Structure 1
Amino acid sequence: MRQLVAVVGVVSAVFVAGCGADEGPATTAPSPASSSSTPATAAPDESGYKPPTTPLVQTPAALTLAAAGAKYLQITRPYNVALESFEKAANENMSVTTLQNRAKLVAAANLAESRALLKVAWPTAVSKQIRALANADAAARSHWLKVATADTKSEMANHLKEATAAASKAPSAQIRQLLHLPKYNEKDYS
């Protein structure tokens, strides 16, 4: 199903509002990033003002192909499981409500996958394809959200076609090949 159904993620935001005490603004402890050493070029000016500096960030080393393969399977598994669960529900002609709920899970897993894919330092051999997969996930996301809110199976089918078209551009099979992984087998995820 990975090659047949597009990837989509539920866009959800959690808003956390903090309230300060009546006596004044709340204070927070400095983050570890803000307590890093300052480069020598950030010297105070004649008034004593020292401009803020951006902490130095080290880029992590790229994964080896073997480690990348394991990481890829770990990241993509929840999305693949959600896709297979949706497909099973559709094949068993389950209710619109069940399909909507499964589509929401697919969309959420898609979003998590695309975010996680972009956080890893992939080997050069697959980095381009990983970015393309994350882009395909993003392209399919709105279609899965429409599947999740469709009122009829006919309407769902129309949105699934669009999601499938977006997923067909995903380089999942190529990534598996480059990482020396077995071909996608839906039995591994159902």
Structure 2
Amino acid sequence: MRQMLAVVGVLGLVCVAGCGADEGPAVTAPSPASSSAPPVTPSEPAGAYAPPSPVRSVPVVRATPPLTLAAAGQKYLAITRPYNVALESFEKAANENMSLSTLQNRAKAVAATNLAEYSALRSTVWPARVSTQMRALAKADAAARPHWLQVAASDSKSEMAGHLELAMTAGSKAPSAQIRQLLGLPKYDEKDYS
């Protein structure tokens, strides 16, 4: 039955195309580049369409479970360590009145480690107990980063001081103290990062 309908359909198209050729402009088939029909392969008879592509399964994305509190503590320390080291290094250089270029280079390192910390904080699935504080810390990192970039681009130490104050205010570490407390970690000690 399906073949009969196809034959009748093709015959109907031939008749319509044949009849229309005498009374109006010739109808031409669209070029293969502009056609929306699937391409015809040479081994198929004219007018046949390529078989539909096989249905591909969509990969299943499994949600990553949140870290345990113990694992979260270790992950937090690992993520924040480079930024804390860079901050302490900058502070040491400033306290020792090192050259402008040294301070600029250390500020660049602070900005780079700030971005890395931000990205890692955002991509980790934290336990519910600290997820709000982790988002707050990532937000503080994002707020401080432009100021650290301005510190690094400063042309003088006095200009640097103004941007540094803004960086320190924007990058409030209040969430860090809460996170350490909630994860049972010791309080921040700058000697651990010097």
TM-score of the pair, normalised by structure 1:
0.72
Q: Given residue 73 of structure 2, which amino acid in structure 1 is its aligned partner? A: G
Larger radius of gyration: 2
- Show structure 1 runs of 5+ residues with no match: 1-46
Within the alignment, does 1:122 sit opposite 2:126 as a pair?
yes
Equivalent residue for 1:138? 142
Q: Distance in 1 between matches of 2:173 and 2:83?
A: 17
- Show structure 2 runs of 5+ residues with no match: 1-50
Equivalent residue for 1:98? 102
Q: Given residue 180 of structure 2, which amino acid in structure 1 is its aligned partner? A: R
Using the TM superposition, give the Cα deviation of residue 115 of structure 1 relative to its aligned residue in structure 2, in angstroms.
0.5
Equivalent residue for 2:188? 184
Q: Distance in 2 between matches of 1:107 and 1:57?
A: 33
Deviations along 1:89-108, one digit per CA (max 9) or x if unpaired, are: 00000000000000000000
Within the alignment, does 1:58 sit opposite 2:62 as a pair?
yes
Using the TM superposition, give the Cα deviation of residue 50 of structure 1 relative to its aligned residue in structure 2, in angstroms.
5.7
Using the TM superposition, give the Cα deviation of residue 168 of structure 1 relative to its aligned residue in structure 2, in angstroms.
2.0
Higher helix residue share: 2
Q: Given residue 155 of structure 2, which amino acid in structure 1 is its aligned partner? A: D
RMSD in angstroms over aligned alpha carbons?
A: 1.7
Using the TM superposition, give the Cα deviation of residue 53 of structure 1 relative to its aligned residue in structure 2, in angstroms.
6.0
Within the alignment, does 1:74 sit opposite 2:74 as a pair?
no
1:48 to 45, 52, 57: 52
Equivalent residue for 1:85? 89
Q: What is the total number of aligned residue pairs between the two structures? A: 145
Q: Distance in 1 between matches of 2:55 and 2:90?
A: 53
TM-score of the pair, normalised by structure 2:
0.71
Deviations along 1:10-62, one digit per CA (max 9) or x if unpaired, are: xxxxxxxxxxxxxxxxxxxxxxxxxxxxxxxxxxxxx7256766422111111
Q: Percent identity?
A: 69
| Contact 1:136/1:170, CA 8 A, preserved across alignment | no
Q: Name the structure, 1 or 2, with higher relative contact order (CA <8 Å, separation 6+).
A: 1
Within the alignment, does 1:149 sit opposite 2:153 as a pair?
yes
Q: Distance in 1 between matches of 2:69 and 2:134?
A: 13
